[in-house]
Amino acid sequence: MKTSMEAWGSGLAGVVIFSGSLPATRVAVADFSPLFLTSARAVIAALLGAALLLALRQPRPSRDTLLSLAIVALGVVVGFPLLTALALQYITSAHSIVFVGLLPLATAIFGVLRGGERPKPLFWLFSGIGSATVVGFALNSGGEVSLFGDLLMVAAIVACGLGYAEGAKLSRRLGGWQVISWALILSLPLMAIIALVSLPETFAGIDGGAWAGLAYVSVFSMLIGFVFWYRGLALGGIAAVGQLQLLQPFFGLLLAAVLLHERVSPLMLATTLAIVLCVAGARKFAR
């Protein structure tokens, strides 16, 4: 019972932390370019991850794990942060959070492709309904819709789903937080160069909110959230604790409304609920 409570508590903490990512990114891209924000957050988190690995004397990963680590880095260190930062220049964080409701489904699909799982037919039925719901929302959002922003969010979800599935598979060998730390270190040289190239001409006039957003996505979204998230998965199992990810859109919408004073329409809430129900059904019939 104690282990179960620890697993669910740790997983829930990870989900809550991740829920602040899109609102924080929305604030940060007001003053920082998406390219600088993506690279800077990766550099900061990589340095923290390296310190953690050194402090706990973790062994280096073997060469046969490098490809998987590169996929994790491409998905969650570079792909998702960059694509969402670009998308949030065209859409609100409340709008973007609806797409996050597809993330568990994307992770499950890549679990099929990368892990050889064979879901039941009803899995694909729920998958199709959920995807159609997102498309319908995107096409009927009135003045809020931005086709380019929506496409960027879809690409971000695909990248993150791939990174989560690959990381979950690799965590059985290396450990959860070790996977994200090594993936960050692997991407550090490239991200450091990009950060230097994309440095703002001047830091004068950059709002305190943008600095706070950068700090949040660097320390919490890029590292600490994964520590809690993967610990929960390790203790309670990926299939079980992974269901907590379905709560992320609700937490994100709440943060967008409270912190950014963005309007959360009844359509957004209804769409998010429909997506969560579809993903829950797909998960039920995933095996």
- Rounded Cα gap, residues 150 and 156, in angstroms: 10
Residue-range domain boundaries for the chain: 2-284
- Rounded Cα gap, residues 148 and 216, in angstroms: 26
Provide mean pLDDT across the span 87-110. Answer: 81
Which pLDDT value is given to residue 183? Answer: 95
Which pLDDT value is given to residue 141? Answer: 59
At 92, is the secondary structure helix, strand, or coil?
Answer: coil
The whole-angstrom distance between residue 229's C-alpha and the CA centroid of its chain comes to 11
- Read off the DSSP letter of residue 244: G
Which pLDDT value is given to residue 256? Answer: 74
Between 246 and 64, residue with greater pLDDT: 64
Other Cβ atoms within 10 Å of 178 Cβ, number: 21
- Rounded Cα gap, residues 28 and 114, in angstroms: 34
> pTM of the prediction?
0.82
Provide mean pLDDT across the span 266-272. Answer: 81
- Rounded Cα gap, residues 161 and 179, in angstroms: 15
**Would the pLDDT of 228 be above 90?**
no
Question: How many secondary structure helices (H) and strands (E) does the chain include?
Answer: 15, 0
Which pLDDT value is given to residue 237? Answer: 67
pLDDT tens digits along 43-68:
999 999 999 999 999 999 999 999 99
pLDDT tens digits along 130-141:
878 877 776 665
At 99, is the secondary structure helix, strand, or coil?
Answer: helix
∠ Cα 143 79 233 (to 5°): 105
**Top-confidence range, 22-31, 45-54, 200-209, 236-245:** 45-54
Which pLDDT value is given to residue 146? Answer: 78
Which pLDDT value is given to residue 211? Answer: 96
Provide mean pLDDT across the span 88-100. Answer: 81
Which pLDDT value is given to residue 1? Answer: 47
How buried is residue 184: exposed, middle or buried, by Cβ count under 10 Å (0-12/13-18/19+)?
Answer: buried
Average pLDDT, the chain: 84
Which amino acid is present at 241? V
Between 57 and 232, residue with greater pLDDT: 57
Residues 6+ apart with CB under 8 A from 33: 198, 200
pLDDT tens digits along 195-212:
999 999 888 889 999 999
Between 252 and 51, residue with greater pLDDT: 51
- The confidence band for 106, taking pLDDT boundaries of 50, 70 and 90, is confident
**Would the pLDDT of 242 be above 80?**
no
Burial per residue of 231-263, b for 16 or more beta-carbon CB atoms within 10 angstroms, e otherwise: bbbbbbebeebbbbbbebbbbbbebbbeebebe
Where helices occur in 101-259 by DSSP H, the ranges are 103-115, 121-139, 147-174, 176-197, 208-215, 225-236, 238-241, 248-259
Which amino acid is present at 194? I
